[in-house]
Amino acid sequence: MAKTKTAYFCRSCGAESPKWMGQCPSCREWNTLIEEKVVKSKNERLNDKPDWRDVGDGAASRASGDGIGPMGKGPKPVALSEVVAGEVDRLIAPDRELNRVLGGGIVPGSIVLFGGQPGIGKSTLLLQLALRLGKKVLYCSGEESEEQIKMRADRLGGDMTNCYLITETNTHKLLKHAAAIKPDLFIVDSIQTLASPHVDSMAGTVSQVRECSHELQRFSKESGIPVFLIGHITKEGSIAGPKLLEHIVDAVLQFEGDRNYTYRILRTLKNRFGSTDELGIYQMEATGLREVSNPSELLLSERDEDLSGSAVCATLEGMRPMLIEVQALVSTAVYGSPQRTSTGYDPKRLNMLLAVLEKRAGLPLGNQDVFLNIAGGLKVDDPAIDLAIIASLLSSAMDVTISPEVAFAGEVGLSGEIRAVTRIEQRIQEADRLGFRSIYVSKYNVKGLDPDRHSIKIVTISTVRELYDDLFA
């Protein structure tokens, strides 16, 4: 019988230590070591083989004869010039936004991690994918019962004949069923609920998450079955468990959004098979998550052209251009100290822009309350939104309406200059496609730009003062 021992694991990197220390010796983070009981030694865990390999003839045939499996001769060094690179045969999902984020589809043998706030829609998105994929899918749930998942599936709709459901948390039993069914896609909800019999600790601990993710990775690479993992996140917004989990998987997708709004953003944090600048946009409805192919029209559909303090920015979310509405309210401070409040935008950046307006445009804002909001519940960190914020603040302070057919794209510096922004061509094309008549950009952005290619008027400015004179003088 194996002797029980106690070890300390780092919540940040997963490193193991025989005793508690204030600072992790591996990642140098403070107060991250937690105590866990371990039954087997490291060597015993490495020598044990998961018994899912004994099920079915596919794994056995791969393990013998071609030298790839654990029973073969193993891979040999080969010159990089002799490696033949070919196109990856991806599994195309019916969800175009998910295909965009993954780089064109699901790669066989890949392991993808989904993270997000509780109740944001992670389970709904993957169950919706399982029901509409048209392939054999194994859906494992360690959090909900079969009846709960069936109720959600009835609401979402789709083909339930090819979706197999199992409520199991033991990884060895789970992998046995996966090897027997041989699905085209394997979904685990969630990785923090699984437990390996090789580790004597509670599910969700650092050692359990590390061991379970290693077993799932081994299964995915050797069987060629793509695995989707749902991961809980901490109150700081990072995925729970060791940082090692994010290093193991091939892609990390973050599902973002405010539960008070219907919009959801699927953002790529890591992708070995595509770009990390892509994102997908969804709208939560009673029947599930609906793809939003044109977010600009939805975000601008509730604008009123008779109100001041509103401006439209041509921004980029990842590689996708979109137009969003910036709303500002400037009013006389009722209390002694004026308020500075922003929703969806960095408050420190807002204070900087207010200082630029007061210094470079001569607008007295020291005794004014300022409220800023990005419509639709979006959170934007694109520097190109600066010019639209300046315009909305000027519009609200002077109570002058900006034409709803005008867009802005530019970064504002401390000296009041309008700086160039990246991919200005895409921003102009998006504003032109939606029928805007003019767009304000930095004069340093027009080098190499052909204005005759667009029907929209391109207005170039170099300072905040020029914007003030052109719009409100």
- 226 and 346: one domain? no
- Residue 201: what pLDDT? 79
Structural domain of residue 184, as residue ranges?
A: 92-293
Mean pLDDT of the chain: 85
The pLDDT assigned to 181 comes to 93
Q: Are residues 229 and 141 in the same domain?
A: yes
> How many C-beta atoms surround the C-beta of residue 328 within 10 A?
24
Q: Which amino acid is at 371?
A: F
Q: Which residues contact 453 (CB under 8 A, 6 or more apart)?
A: none
Q: What is the pLDDT of residue 70?
A: 46
User: Is position 117 annotated in a ligand binding site?
Assistant: yes
Are 14 and 151 found together in one domain? no
> Could you read off the pLDDT of 149-184 as tens digits, one per residue?
999 999 998 889 999 999 999 999 999 999 999 999
Q: Is the same domain home to 269 and 304?
A: no
Q: In the chain, how many domains are there? A: 3
- Map tokens 């360690």 to a residue: 142
pLDDT in tens, 35-94: 877 655 444 444 444 555 554 444 444 444 444 444 455 678 999 888 887 777 899 999
Instruction: Specify the pLDDT at position 252.
Output: 93
- Span of 50-54, 93-97, 353-357, 361-365 with lowest mean pLDDT: 50-54
Least confident of 260-264, 337-341, 344-348: 260-264
Check pLDDT > 90 for residue 276: no
Residue 78 counted as domain residue: no
Question: What are phi and psi for residue 286, nearest 5 degrees?
Answer: -65, -30
Task: List the single range of 176-185, 194-203, 432-441 with lowest mean pLDDT.
Answer: 194-203
In a domain, 76, yes or no: no
End-of-domain residue from the set 247, 275, 293: 293
Strand-pair category, 288-291 with 279-285: antiparallel
Say yes or no to pLDDT of 215 above 90: yes
Q: Answer yes or no: is 120 a known binding residue.
A: yes
Q: Is the domain of 436 the same as that of 303?
A: yes
Instruction: Indicate if 266 and 388 belong to the same structural domain.
Output: no
Judge whether 9 lies within some domain.
yes
**Residue 84, in any domain of the structure:** no
pLDDT at residue 304 greater than cutoff 70 = no
Whether 343 and 328 have beta carbons less than 8 Å apart is answered as: no
158 in the same domain as 275: yes
Residue 356 shares a structural domain with residue 449: yes
Tell me, yes or no, whether 79 lies in a domain: no
Domain check: are 380 and 411 in the same one?
Answer: yes
The answer on whether 274 is annotated among ligand-binding residues is no
Q: Do 195 and 175 touch, CB atoms closer than 8 A?
A: no
Q: Are residues 289 and 302 in the same domain?
A: no
Q: State the CATH number of the domain containing residue 359.
A: 3.30.230.10
Of 282 and 64, more confident:
282
Q: How far apart are CA 194 and CA 58, in angstroms?
A: 25
Q: How far is residue 122's CA from residue 259's CA, in Å, rounded to a whole number?
A: 12
Q: Which of 269, 293, 317 is the last residue of a domain?
A: 293
| Alpha-carbon gap, residue 16 to 205, rounded angstroms | 13
Listed residues 273, 293, 313: the one ending a domain = 293
**What pLDDT does residue 55 have?**
46
Residue 432 belongs to a domain: yes
The answer on 203 and 315 residing in a single domain is: no
Q: Which residue has the tokens 């559909």?
A: 301
Task: Find out whether 158 is annotated in a ligand binding site.
Answer: no
Structural domain includes residue 261? yes
Three-state SS at 330: strand
Ligand-binding annotation for 119, yes or no, is yes
Please tell me whether residues 267 and 325 are part of one structural domain.
Answer: no
Please report whether residue 191 resides in a domain: yes
